[in-house]
Protein backbone atom coordinates (compact mmCIF):
# COMPACT_ATOMS: atom_id res chain seq x y z
CA UNK A 1 0.00 0.00 0.00
CA UNK A 2 1.34 3.38 -0.97
CA UNK A 3 1.73 6.09 1.63
CA UNK A 4 0.60 9.06 -0.40
CA UNK A 5 1.65 11.65 2.15
CA UNK A 6 5.27 10.59 1.61
CA UNK A 7 5.15 11.20 -2.15
CA UNK A 8 6.49 14.37 -3.73
CA UNK A 9 4.13 16.80 -5.47
CA UNK A 10 5.19 15.67 -8.95
CA UNK A 11 4.36 12.04 -8.18
CA UNK A 12 1.05 13.02 -6.62
CA UNK A 13 0.15 14.98 -9.76
CA UNK A 14 0.83 11.99 -11.99
CA UNK A 15 -1.29 9.76 -9.77
CA UNK A 16 -4.01 12.42 -9.46
CA UNK A 17 -4.35 12.56 -13.25
CA UNK A 18 -5.32 8.89 -13.09
CA UNK A 19 -8.37 9.82 -10.98
CA UNK A 20 -6.82 8.66 -7.73
CA UNK A 21 -8.77 10.10 -4.81
CA UNK A 22 -6.09 9.20 -2.28
CA UNK A 23 -3.57 11.36 -4.16
CA UNK A 24 -6.11 14.20 -4.09
CA UNK A 25 -6.64 13.71 -0.35
CA UNK A 26 -2.87 13.83 0.22
CA UNK A 27 -2.63 17.10 -1.75
CA UNK A 28 -5.65 18.45 0.12
CA UNK A 29 -4.13 17.65 3.52
CA UNK A 30 -0.74 19.01 2.49
CA UNK A 31 -1.95 22.36 1.17
CA UNK A 32 -5.32 23.19 2.73
CA UNK A 33 -3.98 24.91 5.85
CA UNK A 34 -1.21 26.71 3.98
CA UNK A 35 -3.61 27.98 1.33
CA UNK A 36 -6.07 29.07 4.01
CA UNK A 37 -3.41 31.14 5.77
CA UNK A 38 -2.42 32.70 2.44
CA UNK A 39 -6.04 33.44 1.48
CA UNK A 40 -6.84 34.86 4.90
CA UNK A 41 -3.89 37.25 4.70
CA UNK A 42 -5.22 38.48 1.37
CA UNK A 43 -8.93 38.65 2.21
CA UNK A 44 -8.92 39.27 5.98
CA UNK A 45 -12.09 37.19 6.20
CA UNK A 46 -11.98 33.61 7.48
CA UNK A 47 -15.16 32.49 5.77
CA UNK A 48 -14.22 33.94 2.40
CA UNK A 49 -10.72 32.50 2.73
CA UNK A 50 -12.17 29.06 3.44
CA UNK A 51 -14.52 29.35 0.46
CA UNK A 52 -11.66 30.37 -1.83
CA UNK A 53 -9.50 27.46 -0.70
CA UNK A 54 -12.37 25.01 -1.12
CA UNK A 55 -13.07 26.33 -4.63
CA UNK A 56 -9.41 26.11 -5.65
CA UNK A 57 -9.00 22.58 -4.33
CA UNK A 58 -12.28 21.48 -5.88
CA UNK A 59 -11.19 22.98 -9.20
CA UNK A 60 -7.94 21.00 -8.92
CA UNK A 61 -9.96 17.80 -8.70
CA UNK A 62 -12.34 18.73 -11.52
CA UNK A 63 -9.48 19.77 -13.83
CA UNK A 64 -7.14 16.93 -12.90
CA UNK A 65 -7.14 15.50 -16.44
CA UNK A 66 -5.88 18.79 -17.93
CA UNK A 67 -3.08 19.37 -15.42
CA UNK A 68 0.48 19.50 -16.72
CA UNK A 69 2.49 16.95 -14.77
CA UNK A 70 5.57 19.16 -15.03
CA UNK A 71 3.94 22.17 -13.36
CA UNK A 72 4.74 23.31 -9.85
CA UNK A 73 1.77 22.32 -7.72
CA UNK A 74 2.37 24.99 -5.04
CA UNK A 75 2.71 27.70 -7.70
CA UNK A 76 -0.52 26.55 -9.36
CA UNK A 77 -2.45 26.49 -6.07
CA UNK A 78 -1.14 29.79 -4.70
CA UNK A 79 -1.73 31.53 -8.04
CA UNK A 80 -5.28 30.19 -8.15
CA UNK A 81 -5.94 31.47 -4.61
CA UNK A 82 -4.43 34.87 -5.43
CA UNK A 83 -6.53 35.17 -8.60
CA UNK A 84 -9.71 34.25 -6.73
CA UNK A 85 -8.89 36.90 -4.12
CA UNK A 86 -8.44 39.47 -6.91
CA UNK A 87 -11.79 38.45 -8.37
CA UNK A 88 -13.43 38.99 -4.98
CA UNK A 89 -11.82 42.43 -4.62
CA UNK A 90 -12.95 43.44 -8.11
CA UNK A 91 -16.46 42.21 -7.44
CA UNK A 92 -16.62 44.04 -4.12
CA UNK A 93 -15.57 47.30 -5.76
CA UNK A 94 -18.27 46.98 -8.41
CA UNK A 95 -20.85 46.07 -5.76
CA UNK A 96 -19.85 48.99 -3.54
CA UNK A 97 -20.19 51.42 -6.44
CA UNK A 98 -23.57 49.98 -7.35
CA UNK A 99 -24.78 50.06 -3.76
CA UNK A 100 -23.48 53.61 -3.37
CA UNK A 101 -25.50 54.63 -6.42
CA UNK A 102 -28.56 53.01 -4.83
CA UNK A 103 -27.96 54.76 -1.50
CA UNK A 104 -29.68 57.90 -2.79
CA UNK A 105 -32.64 55.85 -3.93
CA UNK A 106 -35.78 56.99 -2.12
CA UNK A 107 -38.94 55.15 -3.17
CA UNK A 108 -41.21 57.87 -1.76
CA UNK A 109 -39.65 60.49 -4.01
CA UNK A 110 -38.75 58.39 -7.02
CA UNK A 111 -40.96 58.84 -10.06
CA UNK A 112 -39.60 55.87 -11.96
CA UNK A 113 -41.66 52.82 -12.57
CA UNK A 114 -41.60 50.42 -9.62
CA UNK A 115 -41.13 47.44 -11.94
CA UNK A 116 -37.89 48.92 -13.20
CA UNK A 117 -36.65 49.30 -9.64
CA UNK A 118 -37.69 45.79 -8.74
CA UNK A 119 -35.85 44.42 -11.78
CA UNK A 120 -32.72 46.36 -10.86
CA UNK A 121 -32.83 44.94 -7.34
CA UNK A 122 -33.42 41.44 -8.70
CA UNK A 123 -30.37 41.86 -10.94
CA UNK A 124 -28.28 43.07 -8.00
CA UNK A 125 -29.35 40.13 -5.88
CA UNK A 126 -28.77 37.68 -8.75
CA UNK A 127 -25.28 39.10 -9.36
CA UNK A 128 -24.44 38.53 -5.71
CA UNK A 129 -25.82 34.99 -5.86
CA UNK A 130 -23.79 34.37 -9.03
CA UNK A 131 -20.67 35.60 -7.22
CA UNK A 132 -20.95 32.91 -4.55
CA UNK A 133 -18.47 30.05 -4.78
CA UNK A 134 -19.68 27.45 -7.26
CA UNK A 135 -20.73 24.68 -4.86
CA UNK A 136 -22.26 27.13 -2.41
CA UNK A 137 -24.24 28.81 -5.22
CA UNK A 138 -25.47 25.44 -6.48
CA UNK A 139 -26.69 24.42 -3.02
CA UNK A 140 -28.24 27.84 -2.37
CA UNK A 141 -30.12 27.82 -5.68
CA UNK A 142 -31.40 24.30 -5.15
CA UNK A 143 -32.69 25.44 -1.77
CA UNK A 144 -34.20 28.78 -2.74
CA UNK A 145 -35.01 28.56 -6.46
CA UNK A 146 -35.93 24.86 -6.67
CA UNK A 147 -37.37 24.73 -3.13
CA UNK A 148 -35.57 21.48 -2.25
CA UNK A 149 -35.10 20.52 1.38
CA UNK A 150 -31.61 20.13 2.82
CA UNK A 151 -32.04 16.35 2.81
CA UNK A 152 -33.10 16.37 -0.85
CA UNK A 153 -30.13 18.55 -1.78
CA UNK A 154 -27.77 16.32 0.19
CA UNK A 155 -29.06 13.23 -1.61
CA UNK A 156 -28.96 14.94 -5.01
CA UNK A 157 -25.37 16.19 -4.58
CA UNK A 158 -24.16 13.20 -2.53
CA UNK A 159 -23.32 15.38 0.48
CA UNK A 160 -24.20 15.22 4.13
CA UNK A 161 -27.23 17.27 5.25
CA UNK A 162 -24.91 19.06 7.69
CA UNK A 163 -22.69 20.21 4.79
CA UNK A 164 -25.75 21.46 2.91
CA UNK A 165 -27.00 23.32 5.99
CA UNK A 166 -23.56 24.86 6.56
CA UNK A 167 -23.25 25.99 2.94
CA UNK A 168 -26.72 27.61 2.99
CA UNK A 169 -25.88 29.44 6.22
CA UNK A 170 -22.58 30.64 4.73
CA UNK A 171 -24.35 31.78 1.57
CA UNK A 172 -26.89 33.76 3.58
CA UNK A 173 -24.12 35.29 5.70
CA UNK A 174 -22.18 36.35 2.58
CA UNK A 175 -25.27 37.73 0.88
CA UNK A 176 -26.25 39.65 4.01
CA UNK A 177 -22.76 41.13 4.20
CA UNK A 178 -22.63 42.05 0.52
CA UNK A 179 -26.21 43.25 0.06
CA UNK A 180 -26.65 45.07 3.39
CA UNK A 181 -30.16 46.49 3.65
CA UNK A 182 -31.13 44.92 0.32
CA UNK A 183 -30.47 41.45 1.73
CA UNK A 184 -33.95 41.35 3.25
CA UNK A 185 -35.46 41.91 -0.19
CA UNK A 186 -34.04 38.53 -1.17
CA UNK A 187 -37.00 36.91 0.59
CA UNK A 188 -39.59 39.09 -1.12
CA UNK A 189 -38.49 39.56 -4.72
CA UNK A 190 -36.26 36.61 -5.52
Domain CATH for 113: 1.10.10.10
Q: Is residue 65 part of a domain?
A: yes
Check whether residue 37 and residue 110 sit in a common domain.
Answer: no
**Residue 187: per-residue pLDDT:** 57
pLDDT for residue 101: 59
- At which of 62, 90, 118 does a domain end? 90
Domain-located, residue 99: no
* Residue pLDDT tens, the chain, 190 long: 468 888 999 999 999 999 999 999 999 999 999 999 999 988 888 999 999 999 999 999 999 999 888 889 999 999 999 988 888 877 776 666 666 655 555 554 444 555 666 777 778 878 888 888 999 999 988 988 888 899 999 998 999 999 999 999 998 888 888 777 666 666 555 4
The verdict on 69 and 151 lying in the same domain is no
Q: Do residue 77 and residue 115 come from a single domain? A: no
83: in domain: yes
Q: Domain residues for 185?
A: 105-190
Looking at residue 88, its pLDDT comes to 81
Q: How many domains does the chain have?
A: 2
Residues 188, 46, 96, CA angle at the centre, nearest 5°?
50
Q: Do 81 and 153 have their domain in common?
A: no
Q: Are residues 120 and 84 in the same domain?
A: no
Last residue of a domain, one of 60, 90, 120: 90
pLDDT of residue 89: 74
pLDDT, position 186: 60
Q: Which of 90, 125, 144 is the last residue of a domain?
A: 90
Does residue 3 share a domain with residue 86?
yes
Amino acid sequence: MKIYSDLCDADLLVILKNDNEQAYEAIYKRYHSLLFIYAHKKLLDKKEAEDVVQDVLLKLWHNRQQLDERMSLPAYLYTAVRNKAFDIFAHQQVSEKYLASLADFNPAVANTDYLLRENQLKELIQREIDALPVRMREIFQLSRRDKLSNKEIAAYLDLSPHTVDTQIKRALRLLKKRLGYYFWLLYFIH
